[in-house]
Amino acid sequence: MPKKTTKTYTLKEIREHNTRESVWLLIHNSVYDVTKFIDEHPGGEEVLLEQSGGEATDAFEEIGHSMDAKDMMSEYKIGELCSSDKTKMTAIGKNSTDSTPTVLSGYSKGWKSWALPLGFAVFASI
């Protein structure tokens, strides 16, 4: 039986899938097309849309997904990050916005973008 080859994608290709019509995520160097899952996602579509087209490993891990959720990921996996981009990400750090800019079609970059202003607002109101 021939070994199944895994499709590889570049960061540039992944970044192009950042709309509700095509939602790709990069998690642990694996590429996932979660477009069909967006309406079923327990955390809501916004969570997926704010990460679409980019590196979502930290966001995925921070939320503490269950083993069932992690097992479910396999049905959405479409490939792996190409080795040259893996090397680039390792060299400059996975979370560098210079290495994986995400075009978000008007969505924020996640909870970190509003947590600090919210903290100031709460503090100021006290």
Summarised one tens digit per residue, pLDDT across range 8-26 is: 999 999 999 999 999 999 9
Of residues 88 and 125, more confidence is placed in: 88
pLDDT confidence of residue 105: 35
Of residues 99 and 13, more confidence is placed in: 13
CATH of 8-92, one of 3.10.120.10, 3.40.30.10, 1.10.1040.10, 3.50.50.60: 3.10.120.10
Band (pLDDT 50/70/90 cuts) for residue 2 is low
Q: What is the pLDDT of residues 102-122, one digit of tens each?
A: 333 333 445 445 455 545 555
Q: Which of 50, 44, 18, 47 is nearest to 33 (CA)?
A: 18
Report the mean per-residue pLDDT for the chain. 77
What is the DSSP pairing of strand 77-81 with strand 30-33?
Answer: antiparallel
Q: DSSP states of 52-81 as a string? A: TTEE-HHHHHHTT--HHHHHHGGGGEEEEE
